[in-house]
Amino acid sequence: MNLHELTAHELLDLIKAKKTSSQDVYAAVKKQIQAKEPQVHAYVRVNENAPMSSPPKADFPIPIAIKDNMCIKGQETTCASAILKGFKPPYDATVVKKIKQSGGMILGNANMDEFAFGSSTENSHFGVTRNPWNLACVPGGSSGGSAAAVAAHEAIWALGSDTGGSIRQPAAFCGVVGLKPTYGRVSRYGLIAFASSLDQIGPITKDVHDAALLLKMIAGYDPMDSTSVDVPVPDYTRSLVNNVKNLKIGIPKEYFIEGIDPQVKQSLEKAIDVFKQCGAQFQQISLPHTEYAIATYYITATAEASSNLARYDGVRFGLREIPGQTRKSPLIDMFEETRDKGFGAEAKRRIMLGTYSLSAGYYDDYYLRGLKVRTLIKEDFDNAFHQCDAILTPTAPTTAFKIGEKVSNPLDMYLSDIFTISVNLAGLPAMSLPCGFSREGLPIGLQIITKPFAEEMLFRVAYTYEQNTDWHQRKAPIQ
Amino acid sequence: MKNKKIINEEVVRSVASLARINLQAAEVKQLTKNLEDILHYVAKLEQLDVSRIQPTSHVLPLENVYREDIVKPSLSQQEALSIGPYHTKGHFNVPKVIA
């Protein structure tokens, strides 16, 4: 039995039945990391001092990968950026605290695009992560390390964060399940901020059942995050029912755009057939402002990012650089030198774009206009959910692209998030799950979107699909 | 477009100064082109009439979130300072501010 290849719920059953132990599970995953990490590079750093087993009564004694933007007390956390090198947080993020309390063993910090700026994990200061299904391809991003770790069985499950698709798109590219919860469902305390009105932490897992377990563990109100919402956390495993009879599922007509890979389109059509055979009813819906989502996102999210990243000034965190000669004044020179050396190209691009759209003379035309279009995008979903219980779309317009393919064209990279970005702007929950493979053997993802705080509906629809297909059982052919 | 937005190397250098980044000459050139492309793309937002639309900065219907004004356990001064690259005598250390 290959313990590292099992799901968390399978392992929990085995541990309960005393057929294995948390120590054995940890050892199996650790061995897999040693064997596969040289090829995949899913981790920025592997935690060598983790507890190698859990207390006997722990609820979830499962090894987990944590994206490198969640604070782990005393353990270097860098957002895959040079500017945070050496930063050892003095406290645990709320999600990390919950994982530790439930007996989770933290395997290490998973790789990501610097400050979560990207869709391929190529923007990491610490090198690229490779897709376990094809090592020449990207794992997606920005939570590419988390998704690749789960797909390569270098972690049983993982946490990612999603600002514009950063959990769902890498989950789709790596053939695993990725869930972005409703904005406010999970505490962001200790999540290093990118765009505070959009960021949300969520699970990346091998199947839907595991996503339900992990979400239940991390969800809930937290007084340390004033945007977390005080609504009860249901037992999501009760929503794991194989039944979508008479549910109304909407297909947005605007999502069948030019440029969508025909194989992705075909997989979605086959998924629709599966749901129809299970008794779901389909109808076409309209999200008329879809074509404005990416533009809205890149104005508003970069504005928030430029403000959030102002704190990296060489005084309070990580890196400090001093130029050889005085340019403006010793203090300002230090700020400017530190930020030039510490930030990578994409981080600079987004800080610059955000600073521009917030600056005097441009604010009304860019940032304020972006916020208004955000209202229109949110209203599109409000209207659509009068007609349906869930919305089905592809997660990404293509399968995983080649490493290096989109690096020189930032706008082209941004467009790969076209199906996921609106969900963040509207604050909705959404899940990506495997729904097929291309002829080249690359995974294809299906996205399900529901109303705010309707994660139970999300689990029901996703679980039904999973029970009637076997895509989630395929294993990446990494040698 | 109401008024033509201009992005050139001078604007990029001035935005970089606001953002406190000392860009190298090659970066200024590259970013001018990148920002031009991106701003050209986002100009599509001007197709929409948003004059009667309220802005959404946040999706939740949250208003002021208050807590009781009571001191709770928090990081010690030493813990907070220890994250910074340089600190002395209970302060963060920075280069000379007044010449």
Amino acid at A234: P
The four Cα atoms A246, A203, A163, A115 give a dihedral, to 10 degrees, of -170
pLDDT band (50, 70, 90) for residue B98: confident
CB contact under 8 A, A370 and B45: yes
By the 8 A CB rule, do A151 and A132 touch? yes
**Best of A343, A366, A372 to mutate (most B CBs within 10 Å, chain B):** A372
pLDDT in tens, A14-43: 999 999 999 999 999 999 999 999 999 999
B3-59 confidence digits (pLDDT tens): 456 799 999 999 999 999 999 999 999 999 999 999 999 999 999 999 999 999 889
User: Which residue out of B4, B8, B18, B21 would a mutagenesis test of the A interface target, given it has the greatest number of A Cβ atoms within 10 Å?
Assistant: B21
| A351·B67 Cβ contact <8 A | no
Task: Give mean pLDDT, residues A257-271.
Answer: 92
Residue count (chain B): 99
Terminal-to-terminal C-alpha distance of chain B = 46
pLDDT of residue A478: 82
Closest by Cβ to B56, choosing from A87, A88, A375 = A375
- Helix, strand, coil fractions of chain A, as percent rounded to 5: 40, 15, 45
pLDDT digits (tens, 9 = 90+) for B36-45: 999 999 999 9
ipTM: 0.94
**Interval A369-391: pLDDT, tens:** 999 999 999 999 999 999 999 99
The chain-wide mean pLDDT, for chain A, equals: 96
**B5 at interface of A, judged by CB pairs closer than 8 A:** yes
Residue of A nearest to B12 (CA): A352
List, in order of start, the domains of chain A with CATH numbers. 3-243+419-473 (3.90.1300.10)
- Which is nearest to A194 in space by CA: A344, A309, A61, A342? A309
For A93-131, the pLDDT digits (tens) are 999 999 999 999 999 999 999 999 999 999 999 999 999
pLDDT at A258 exceeding the cut of 80: no
Top CATH class of B9-47 equals mainly alpha
Residue B2 has pLDDT above 50, yes or no: no
Tell me how far apart the alpha carbons of residues A263 and B82 are, in angstroms, rounded to a whole number: 53
* Opening angle at CA A422, ends A417 and A428, nearest 5: 120
Confidence class of residue A54 from pLDDT cuts 50, 70 and 90?
Answer: confident
pLDDT at A469: 98
pLDDT of residue A52: 78
pLDDT, one tens digit per residue, over A67-101 is 999 999 999 999 999 999 999 999 999 999 999 99
| pLDDT for res A479 | 58
In what side-by-side order are the strands of the sheet with A157-162?
A43-46, A105-110, A63-67, A157-162, A200-205, A177-180, A430-437, A443-449, A390-394, A248-252, A281-285
Q: Sketch the domain layout of chain B as residue ranges.
A: 9-47
Which residues from chain B sit within 8 angstroms of residue A334, using beta carbons? 94-95
